[in-house]
Amino acid sequence: MRRLKYGLMIGFAAILAVGIAERLNSRPLETSKSTWSQKLKDAAQNKLQQHLRERAENANFATSMNTAEMIAGLFDERVEATERYRHAYRLAKSGSPEAIEALKRYFKQASSSEKAAIAQLMGAWGNAEHKPWLWPLLEDPELDVRLGAIRALSSIGGDDVVERWDRAIRGDQASDAEKVAMIEGLGTIRSPFAYRVVMAQINARSDVRFTSALLDSLSRFPFTPETEQYFRNWDAAAGTPLEQRVAAMTSLAHSDERAVPFLLDTARTSTQWAVRAEAAWALSAQTVPHLADSLVELAASERNEIVRRRLLEAIVPQTDTPIEPLYGILVHEEDEAVRVAVFNALGAAAGRQPDQAQRFDDEAVPELLRLAVSENPVNLRMRAVFALRRAHTPGALEALGTIAGVKDERVAIAAAHGLSPD
Amino acid sequence: MSTTSLKNTVVALLLCGCISSIQAATITWKVLIGPKNAGTVAWQTSSPSASGSLSASGKITFNAGAFVDLTFNANPGFTLTLVTKNADNITASLDSKHHFRFGPVDSPHTIGVLFSGSGGGTGSVDVPTGAFGFAFPSSSSTLAPVFDISGNYSGVTPTATKRNYNFDVAMDEFGKVSTMGTLTGVTNADGSSLLSADIGAIKTVDNKPTNFFKTKFKGTADGKPVAGSADGSGPVPTTVTNGVAVVAGTGSYKGTLDGVKYANDNVPVQAPLSVVQTKNLSKAWNIQISILNEATGSKSKPVASAQLTLPSGDVISFAKKTAKYSSTKGYSLSFKSGTNISRSPAAKDKSSVQITGMTFSKSGTTWTVTGGTITYKFLGQNGSGNLNEFLKN
């Protein structure tokens, strides 16, 4: 049987940021998980949202098919897999009785991975009506299906789900994989009840796997002073293994901008270079005013080259690039990877500010060209190409033209993409 | 010999091993050849005069890219048993005079030379020495692979809009991923078509390499304002069928598109990679270990050095250090704090490989690894397994 493939997207960030939204035609933002007042507000706006959403749908998901035709397409193995996936998604989104019935019918003949995907689709719109159908899937003999049901129920949320997860995580019936999925689900639900469960669990656990999942879940809640204190205590505790200290910083890449001061402080004061480096890495997920100044300041006094690199890489997404201090760092910096990080930040600035183009061409391009055509590792060479592409200055384009002819195909193609960006 | 491109480094003959009170039957030399040392050559060898000799001694200089002629001569009481190049057995390639031409030399090589015989040892303990190669078995379904995913990913999105995408991915030595590319009709906040994201990583979860990412985006799609954030995770595909792998995972996102809010949590995502894209997923790696007996005064002790070739192609060199050996428990080797000699200039590296309980059997003069446990950690990922699965055939 030709399996339905859930062709959706390449898993890269930019495509996800834009592509998923238009591809899947998401449900309206449901901030209602946190407060009832928000739910009421959403309900009041529902009609307008529906209108706007359908207008967007028409632009991006134009189809003349009715529900019956989409159901037929879902079961028609001659139809392209990606199109059948679109049918499944549209049917799940529509939520009509016949659409849901069709998906459930397809579910019965599907593989375990397809079942898991359909279960997740059923939960993706947060429709609590699907809970009775999903609960029994938690007992399915296939782990994939159980995981899909856990994710679906977590998407729908509710105290009943939190209570169930709490019991299961404490118990010994669920597998470790299920428990981790439930812990992650608590971070999806993000209700006060879910927060209490996460905090209770995190204080009761010591193994790396669960602790990492709990920290990741915790980071998805608003970064409150209480959360910050928890992370501080975690890092300060003498018995916390280095691996878990690092995992705590990794998880904060998911946090909101209120975590920035804590991350900066950690990047400045932690005695472990790996913790400082990971805090700096997490900062690159944030874009807040004047963050770049702090990052450059930290980098200028940081002795570990890996931490310096991470701090400077975090500048790239920022829009207020401190150009002079960055060129100042180049005067003394000897580590090639750190220099490439600086060049990427400067390249981004040159791309935004035409008055910086000449200087970039004079002071950065020759070194970047040398690096990109050298025998250095592909990672370093690719990032040198990235810096040139960000700048997109005359000198950078000329260099990209040269690099496009190098032997290593990956580097050459990356350079060629910079010459014809569209 | 032209030296215009050389730095004329004088390479001293390094005596790093000898016949010892614990060594009876085998003598191993280690010869290092390569342009690493200023583009010239070097070798280090264990007391060649006792077990044999090289046709040249002390130092050799030559142009990078040139050929090097070496002849190994066994002394009375010894027999040339094995010659390896980077752990590959090349003994059969020697001519009748035990001569071999190496080259053209454009990268470092480790030459292992094994003599067997009775020339002077007391025979108190027979310590395994030699060159041993281990490679990750790519077909294994139980061992955790370590992936490098650097490369180009281009195609057409399987969406209704069928946008062309060109994304290039760079993954560093810690598994941190940076991407840059374009998606037709989509621009960033500056109006540029260049899109980038620098907050991704590959790490090992439940014995599987797993991709994590998070990004924020602000710009336009087909001229309409779009802003939002997305994060997700999913295992790097480990199964390739007909040259094609499938990316699968879970994503969450929220934002606004043309004024319409959108959000979804835990959306299942799967997408087949093209044959070309699948080739970017590299998981081949190997480690070549050289164990010698090194003289210290009247005694000797085993020392081990290694060269680790990562899935990224980077070569990490671990300098020799004392190896712990027990006739019952075998070798316990720890390789860390190495040097990435693929970088120019060479740079410190955090990759590590540990081997415990490496035991041997001996047939004639040949040592064969019979067991042990290998633990590996590099490119932000890790794993461990039975050493036997890594033995090169």
Q: What is the 3-state secondary structure (H, E, C) of B328-348?
A: CCEEEEEECCEEECCCCCCEE
What average pLDDT does the structure give for chain A?
A: 83
Using 50, 70 and 90 to split pLDDT, how confident is the model at A421?
A: low
Q: Which amino acid is present at B282?
A: S
**Predicted local distance difference test score (pLDDT) of residue A122:** 84
Instruction: Please answer yes or no on whether A28 and B262 come within 8 Å at the CB atom.
Output: yes
Using 50, 70 and 90 to split pLDDT, how confident is the model at A43?
A: very low
Average pLDDT score over residue span A237-249: 86
What average pLDDT does the structure give for chain B?
A: 76
Task: Provide the ipTM.
Answer: 0.80
Judged by average pLDDT, the poorest of A208-222, A279-293, B117-131 is B117-131
Instruction: State pLDDT tens for residues B315-356.
Output: 999 999 999 898 888 999 999 999 999 988 899 999 999 999
**Predicted local distance difference test score (pLDDT) of residue B53:** 62
Q: How far is CA A47 from the centre of its chain?
A: 30
Q: Which chain A residues are Cβ-neighbours of B347 within 8 angstroms?
A: 335-337
Instruction: Please answer yes or no on whether B199 and A10 come within 8 Å at the CB atom.
Output: no
Least Cα distance to B290 among B317, B253, B266 occurs for B317
Coil, strand or helix: which one is B138?
Answer: coil
Instruction: State pLDDT tens for residues B199-233.
Output: 789 999 888 888 888 877 888 988 888 888 788 77
Q: Which of A60, A386, A392 sits opposite B160 (nearest CB)?
A: A60
Distance CA A306, CA B306 (A): 24
Residue of B nearest to A257 (CA): B216
**Predicted local distance difference test score (pLDDT) of residue A41:** 42
Asked if residue A190 has pLDDT above 80, the reply is yes
Enclosing H/E stretch for B316: strand B315-322
Which of A84-93, A170-179, B5-14, B70-79 reaches the highest mean pLDDT?
Answer: A170-179
**Predicted local distance difference test score (pLDDT) of residue A380:** 96
Asked if residue A386 has pLDDT above 50, the reply is yes
Q: Which of B219, B226, B343 sits opposite A21 (nearest CB)?
A: B226
**Predicted local distance difference test score (pLDDT) of residue B227:** 85
Q: Which residues of B336-365 are buried (b: 16+ CB within 10 A; e: fewer)?
A: eebbbbbbeeebebbbbbebbebbbeeeee
Least Cα distance to A91 among A3, A16, A17, A24 occurs for A24
- Secondary structure, 3-state, chain A: CCCCCCECCCCCHHHHHHHHHHHHHCECCCHHHCCHHHHHHHHHHHHHHHHHHHHHHHHHCCCCCCHHHHHHHHHCCCCCHHHHHHHHHHHHHHCCHHHHHHHHHHHHHCCHHHHHHHHHHHHHCCCHHHHHHHHHHHHCCCHHHHHHHHHHHHHHCCHHHHHHHHHHHHCCCCCHHHHHHHHHHHHHHCCHHHHHHHHHHHHHCCCHHHHHHHHHHHHCCCCCHHHHHHHHHHHHCCCCCHHHHHHHHHHHHHCCHHHHHHHHHHHHHCCCHHHHHHHHHHHCCCCCCCHHHHHHHHHHHCCCHHHHHHHHHCCCCCCCCCHHHHHHHHHHCCCHHHHHHHHHHHHHHHHHCHHHHHHHHHHCHHHHHHHHCCCCCHHHHHHHHHHHHHHCCHHHHHHHHHHCCCCCHHHHHHHHHHHCCC
Using 50, 70 and 90 to split pLDDT, how confident is the model at B37?
A: very low
Coil, strand or helix: which one is B134?
Answer: strand
Q: How far is A291 from chain B (nearest CA, A)?
A: 16
Rg (CA), chain B: 26
Q: How far is CA B187 from the centre of its chain?
A: 39
**Predicted local distance difference test score (pLDDT) of residue B8:** 25
Q: Is the CB of residue B200 less than 8 Å from the CB of residue B206?
A: no
Distance CA A21, CA A2 (A): 28
Distance CA A167, CA A161 (A): 10
Higher pLDDT among residues A117 and A329, named by residue: A329
Average pLDDT score over residue span B242-270: 69
Count CA atoms within 13 Å of residue B214 on its CB side. Answer: 17
Percent of chain B whose pLDDT exceeds 90: 28
Instruction: Please answer yes or no on whether B252 and A188 come within 8 Å at the CB atom.
Output: yes
Average pLDDT score over residue span B168-188: 92
Q: Is the CB of residue B126 less than 8 Å from the CB of residue B365?
A: no
**Predicted local distance difference test score (pLDDT) of residue A26:** 41
Q: How far is B193 from chain A (nearest CA, A)?
A: 7
Judged by average pLDDT, the poorest of A248-262, B15-29, B259-273 is B15-29
**Predicted local distance difference test score (pLDDT) of residue A287:** 84
Asked if residue B299 has pLDDT above 90, the reply is no
The residue length of chain A stands at: 422
**Predicted local distance difference test score (pLDDT) of residue B62:** 65
Residue of A nearest to B313 (CA): A377
Instruction: Please answer yes or no on whether A13 and B230 come within 8 Å at the CB atom.
Output: yes
Q: How far is B99 from chain A (nearest CA, A)?
A: 31
**Predicted local distance difference test score (pLDDT) of residue A271:** 93
Q: Which chain A residues are Cβ-neighbours of B221 within 8 angstroms?
A: 18, 22
Q: Which amino acid is present at A130?
A: H
**Predicted local distance difference test score (pLDDT) of residue A252:** 93
Q: How far is A322 from chain B (nearest CA, A)?
A: 18
List B82's β-bridge partners, or say none: B114
Higher pLDDT among residues A89 and A317, named by residue: A317
Coil, strand or helix: which one is B327?
Answer: coil
Distance CA A166, CA A159 (A): 10
Instruction: Please answer yes or no on whether B170 and A386 come within 8 Å at the CB atom.
Output: yes
**Predicted local distance difference test score (pLDDT) of residue B64:** 66
Exposure of A422 by Cβ count < 10 A (0-12 exposed, 13-18 middle, 19+ buried)? exposed
Coil, strand or helix: which one is B61?
Answer: coil
Q: Which chain B residues are Cβ-neighbours of A23 within 8 angstroms?
A: 157, 159-161
| Cut 0.90: pTM above it | no
Using 50, 70 and 90 to split pLDDT, how confident is the model at B246?
A: low
Instruction: State pLDDT tens for residues A275-316.
Output: 999 999 999 988 888 999 999 999 999 999 999 999 999 999
Percent of chain B whose pLDDT exceeds 70: 67
Q: Which of A21, A317, A421 sits opposite B262 (nearest CB)?
A: A21
Instruction: State pLDDT tens for residues B351-391.
Output: 999 999 999 888 877 888 999 999 999 999 999 999 999 98
Coil, strand or helix: which one is B153?
Answer: strand
- Beta-carbon contacts of A43 under 8 Å, excluding residues fewer than 6 positions away, are none
